[in-house]
Amino acid sequence: MPRDFLKGAQDEYDVVVIGSGLAGMTSANILGRAGHRVLLLEQHYKLGGLATWFLRPGGHTFDISLHGFPHGMVKSCRRYWNRDIADRIVQLKNIRFDNPQFSLTTTFDREDFTRLLVERFGQPSETVQEFFDTARGMNFYDDQTTTTGQLFDRFFPGRNDIVRLLMEPITYANGSTLEDPAITYGIVFSNFMSKGVYIYEGGTDDLVKRMTRELESNGVDIRINCPVEKIDLVDGRVSAVHVGGRKIRTRAIVSNANLKTTVLKMLGEEKLDRDFIQRAKDVRLNNSSTQVYMALKEGEEIDESSGDLFFTSTAEDFRTELLLSRDITSRTFSFYYPRTRPWKTKERYAIVSSTNANWSDWADLNEADYLASKQDLVETTIDALERYIPGVRDKIDHAEAATPKTFHHYTQHEMGASFGTKFEGLGVSRELPQQVGGMFHAGSVGIIMSGWLGAINYGVIVSNEVDQLLTSEASPV
Ligand SMILES: Cc1cc2nc3c(=O)[nH]c(=O)nc-3n(C[C@H](O)[C@H](O)[C@H](O)COP(=O)(O)OP(=O)(O)OC[C@H]3O[C@@H](n4cnc5c(N)ncnc54)[C@H](O)[C@@H]3O)c2cc1C
């Protein structure tokens, strides 16, 4: 008989959270802590969504999306998780760039970027201050027609090198491009500039373990290997989820699954306004990624001067399409020293190379071509790394690649989207509760609500709305 992953789950809950990405887990935690009966359902065998890791023989652990986030994570984790988690967030001080236009090292904050823009790139300090203030002042209600490209043209016309310095890390952090609304850039860039780039010391496995413990202590019922197939409505309001051959009743649902999948598949077109459905269909997904994971043999080391996060590119200038091309010119290397997991007895060094990628370059390859293309990705990435760490090929114990298909496989995100949807997804996500009573979405959307901090903060916003709904209603299910 197949194992019953829902064993012990109740027949009804106040809230069902579909998906255990950072937004889903944060919503579940806040709602559990508020005293609601919460069921967290995850289709994968691990919690965390894209905040995940994997192990390989030889004592190697690889992190998928632990490369850097803004300082705001400290506050969000302290308030909505616990101090134990927040206190493990530490700064990455050694951010490097190398491309045909410039090579430099920075702490990636406003003070250091101001210095670089004035001294190295020759900009008047008033222009630089005004640029930072304009980016900082941007908010959701601003003009959404100005693009990031136009913002740069206003302050630094004709300076493709400056655009590269300012844009390349943000494209890496949330997939946004020069063509996206400038507010998506301004908000995320300013978040980083406030105090630099941070990381969780202990590794993603340690973080998710501590989050799981906190969820359990707040009474959240957690079930893995439980894909939700369908959502039932009664009189325009959510009534139940279908999962593992069972129908579990609920007063509210928070879906952390991909926005389009939530609306178009789990809810279904027939239950919603035509206009809303059309807007959901028109939402563009963000791009996907490829990664190459490399671990060093026992006893081999990387010098700390290699940096923490290293943005490299061989392209002569900065262009959006080059960042996504299968013909890779840009790679961001994350270096993981033993201090990433201080609790480990075996000292290990790992390097993860990440590049933004298009689903279409990988999805339709036949099996043989797919495997060959993956292997080519590994080999060319090691070649690229050799340029910075000569002899690294011989030090590598294990190397493998992930593609947009890998990200799709583990999270069910359509087209392997790494950063949810483009800007218009935010409006559709926010409107969902008006379309269907008790139905909410929390997860990477609209560029702004993506990445570790964006996802956690969106989980907070949505859980407050769910809490208000549940507490304002007297009648139980
Ligand atoms: C390669 C890569 C590198 C990244 N690097 C960084 C970085 O350095 N810094 C940063 O801040 N961000 C980074 N990100 C982005 C960041 O990881 C994500 O934005 C964030 O983790 C997404 O969280 P989420 O809550 O939106 O949900 P997700 O992590 O997308 O999780 C959604 C969850 O829902 C589950 N699910 C889907 N369908 C169902 C269903 N039907 N039933 C049950 N469960 C379901 C999935 O299995 C998954 O667990 C990176 C992403 C990628 C891919």
Judged by phi (left if over 0) then psi (alpha if -120 to 50, else beta), residue 209 lies in alpha
In this predicted structure, what is the pLDDT of residue 473? 86
Q: How many Cβ atoms are within 10 Å of 50's Cβ, its own excluded?
A: 24
In this predicted structure, what is the pLDDT of residue 321? 82
Among 67, 77, 215, 256, say which to mutate for ligand 1: greatest number of ligand atoms within 8 Å of CB. Answer: 256
The answer to whether the CB of 411 is under 6 A from ligand 1 is yes
The answer to whether the CB of 70 is under 6 A from ligand 1 is no
The helix (H) or strand (E) run that includes residue 467 is helix 451-472
In this predicted structure, what is the pLDDT of residue 326? 84
Do 53-91+198-205+287-411 and 12-45+224-284+419-472 have the same topology in CATH?
A: no
pLDDT one digit per residue (tens) for the chain, 477 residues: 678 999 999 999 999 999 999 999 999 999 999 999 999 999 999 999 999 999 999 999 999 999 999 999 999 999 999 999 999 999 999 999 999 999 999 999 999 999 999 999 999 999 999 999 999 998 766 777 899 999 999 999 999 999 999 999 999 888 889 999 999 999 999 999 999 999 999 999 999 999 999 999 999 999 999 999 999 999 999 999 999 999 999 999 999 999 999 999 999 998 899 999 999 999 999 999 999 999 999 999 999 999 999 999 999 999 888 888 888 899 999 999 999 998 888 889 999 999 999 999 999 999 999 999 999 999 999 999 999 999 999 999 999 999 999 999 998 899 999 999 999 999 999 999 999 999 999 999 998 899 999 999 999 999 999 999 999 985 555
In this predicted structure, what is the pLDDT of residue 397? 97
In this predicted structure, what is the pLDDT of residue 432? 97
Among 42, 46, 65, 332, say which to mutate for ligand 1: greatest number of ligand atoms within 8 Å of CB. Answer: 65
* Nearest by Cα to 263 from 140, 411, 414: 414
The domain defined by 53-91+198-205+287-411 folds into Polyamine Oxidase; Chain A, domain 2 (3.90.660)
What superfamily does domain 12-45+224-284+419-472 belong to in CATH? Answer: FAD/NAD(P)-binding domain (3.50.50.60)
Say how many Å lie between the CA of residue 175 and the centre of ligand 1: 13
The answer to whether the CB of 23 is under 6 A from ligand 1 is yes
Amino acid at 470: L
In ligand 1, which atom is closest to the CA atom of 453?
11
- Residue for token pair 């007297």: 474
Say how many Å lie between the CA of residue 291 and the centre of ligand 1: 15
The answer to whether the CB of 41 is under 6 A from ligand 1 is yes
Per DSSP, the chain holds a count of helices (H) and strands (E) of 18, 18
Pairing outcome for strands 12-18 and 246-255: parallel
Q: How many Cβ atoms are within 10 Å of 327's Cβ, its own excluded?
A: 8
The answer to whether the CB of 290 is under 6 A from ligand 1 is no
The answer to whether the CB of 18 is under 6 A from ligand 1 is yes
In ligand 1, which atom is closest to the CA atom of 445?
26
In this predicted structure, what is the pLDDT of residue 322? 86
The answer to whether the CB of 240 is under 6 A from ligand 1 is no
Which residue's CA lies nearest to atom 2 of ligand 1? 65
Amino acid at 351: I
Say how many Å lie between the CA of residue 50 and the centre of ligand 1: 3
The DSSP annotation for 225-275 comes to S--EEEEEEETTEEEEEEETTEEEEEEEEEE-S-HHIIIIIIIIGGGS-HH
In ligand 1, which atom is closest to the CA atom of 49?
49
Rounded CA separation 258/429 (Å): 10
The answer to whether the CB of 227 is under 6 A from ligand 1 is yes
- The residues near 168 (Cβ < 8 Å, ≥ 6 apart) are 97, 311, 313, 318, 323, 330
Say how many Å lie between the CA of residue 222 and the centre of ligand 1: 18
In this predicted structure, what is the pLDDT of residue 477? 52
In ligand 1, which atom is closest to the CA atom of 24?
25
In ligand 1, which atom is closest to the CA atom of 452?
11
**Cut 0.85: pTM above it:** yes
Q: What residues does each domain of the chain span? A: 12-45+224-284+419-472, 53-91+198-205+287-411, 109-195
User: Cα dihedral sign for 358, 360, 364, 365?
Assistant: negative
The answer to whether the CB of 288 is under 6 A from ligand 1 is no
What's the DSSP call for residue 35? T
The answer to whether the CB of 419 is under 6 A from ligand 1 is yes
In this predicted structure, what is the pLDDT of residue 80? 98
In this predicted structure, what is the pLDDT of residue 1? 65
The helix (H) or strand (E) run that includes residue 203 is helix 203-217
Which residue's CA lies nearest to atom 12 of ligand 1? 451
* Nearest by Cα to 438 from 271, 216, 315, 326: 271
- Cα 144 to chain center, whole Å? 23
In this predicted structure, what is the pLDDT of residue 15? 98
* Nearest by Cα to 19 from 227, 299, 210: 227
